[in-house]
Amino acid sequence: MTGLSLRGTVYYLVKRVPREFAHLEPRAVVRRSLKTGDLREARKRGTREQAAMLARWEAGLAAGGQDPAAEAEAVDALRKAERIVPRTLGDLVAGPLDQLIERIEQVLERDPPASQPAVAKAWLGVGPGKGEDPISALLEKVQKLAPDLIHGMSEEQKRRWRNPREKVLRDLISCIGDKKVVETDDDDARALREHLCEQVEAYEINPATANKYVHYVSGMMKVYSEKLKLKWKHPFVGMTFKDSSSDKRRRRPFSTTWIMEHLSPPDALLGLNAEARDVLLAMVDTGARPSEIIGLLPEHIRLDDPIPHIRIVPTDRVLKNASSKRDLPLVGLSLEAMRRNPHGFPRYRGKGGWSNLVNKFLRQNCAIKDDQSAYSLRHSFEDRLLAAEAVDRLAADLMGHATRRARYGNGASLELKHETLQLIAI
């Protein structure tokens, strides 16, 4: 590595201070003894020390900002670079005096002017200790503690996962302030519930949405507590809202007559762009979810096979469940739509916007009911399967539904699925 200088019998790391860190380090050039005369060992130590030096400056930069989550992240990075065993200030004060003195000496050695709070936070535990993160840092902390929560998601799925959680944490902070996660108590939980209750009563959100927000907070708190092995039980339990309309909220299916009148004619859906229209039509005779159609890649669209079909498989996004992975024959309106789009739907793939656009169009132009949406096509498809007396396993294989009973065998063949869909095609 560059930056090594031999002075006498000892190697030194010589590092010029980058301009962006000049306000943190008054010296133009920093020289650190590597305490070895062996070149190979000096290179190893120099690499580690250079990484730690940069981590100290980055942490100092973050500490000067207004983002506590970014500061906590930078201090954590500094601890890793310096191989510092995390200790809170309380633990150090209560422990042996020589250990506290040793850590103070480490701070002064690394930061002679003792001007960087971040260095002190890393070594002396002044910053957030284990379980002492503020609520504003909770979501990022949870993502680091449990990366599997969003593993395999596309960027659009990650955005949809994060947004409601960010919102409810903002609401919580507006109610109780940005206190430490482990300091939240029953009064704080009641404050959030009252806030959500006001939104429900004002018809800003429905009870089901309020329950989702409660679930998001509870879930994040649970992961935080369990992963950090804290002896703390979060208070956000037993807060659900009763939803007397839950039975009514199931999406009403479109009738076959409605589909034939509003979707089947050649001039149907005028005003929608071609890709948005054909995603909708591709749902009609496949029963696929909108996200499954939008996520299709060219290699998943098998128009030239003996039985034209699409393959619903995980790619850069996760499927709703393991049963969602399936092959769906193309017939009727869906076959026509996919023939017009052999390469899929790049305008919407990996992005949002399709649902809002199409549902707004259907409300304004097709006189749909309040409890209907584009997703109602899946319910229509399921009703047509029921009318055709398709057995439960076949219907589940086509819909991509998870079932409570164990699945045996390979499921319905593509030929059997094709025969069934030809019976119900629009």
Mean pLDDT of 77-100: 71
| Amino acid 74: pLDDT | 67
CB 221 within 8 A of CB 146: no
Query: Is the pTM value of this prediction over 0.75?
Result: no
Collect contacts of 185-191 with beta carbons under 8 A, ≥24 apart: 185/235, 186/235, 188/235, 189/235, 189/236, 189/237, 189/239
pLDDT at 396 over 80: yes
The region of weakest confidence among 24-33, 140-149, 176-185 is: 24-33
Higher pLDDT, 128 or 93: 93
pLDDT at 44 over 60: yes
For residue 22 the two structure tokens come to 């000049």
Beta bridge partners of 13: 4, 32
274-284 and 376-387 helices cross at what angle (nearest 10)?
30
Rounded Cα–Cα distance for residues 56 and 45 (Å): 16
Higher pLDDT, 25 or 111: 25
| Amino acid 380: pLDDT | 95
* Euclidean distance between the first and the last CA atom of the chain, given in angstroms as a whole number: 69
Rounded Cα–Cα distance for residues 219 and 169 (Å): 12
Higher pLDDT, 314 or 120: 314
Mean pLDDT of 96-123: 68
Compute the Cα dihedral for 359, 362, 368, 374 and give only its sign. negative
Rounded Cα–Cα distance for residues 246 and 195 (Å): 21
Give the confidence band of 397 by pLDDT, cuts at 50, 70, 90: confident
Cβ of 385: how many Cβ atoms within 10 Å? Answer: 22
pLDDT at 138 over 80: yes
| Amino acid 19: pLDDT | 85
With 0-12 CB in 10 A as exposed, 13-18 as middle and 19+ as buried, what is 98? exposed
pLDDT at 407 over 70: no
The region of weakest confidence among 91-105, 154-168, 287-301, 347-361 is: 91-105
58-62, 116-120, 167-171, 203-207 — which one is most confidently predicted on average? Answer: 167-171
Give the confidence band of 114 by pLDDT, cuts at 50, 70, 90: very low
Mean pLDDT (the chain) is 83
pLDDT in tens, 333-350: 999 999 999 999 999 887
DSSP 301: E
Give the confidence band of 277 by pLDDT, cuts at 50, 70, 90: very high
Rounded Cα–Cα distance for residues 395 and 326 (Å): 12
Q: What share of the chain in percent tops pLDDT 90?
A: 35
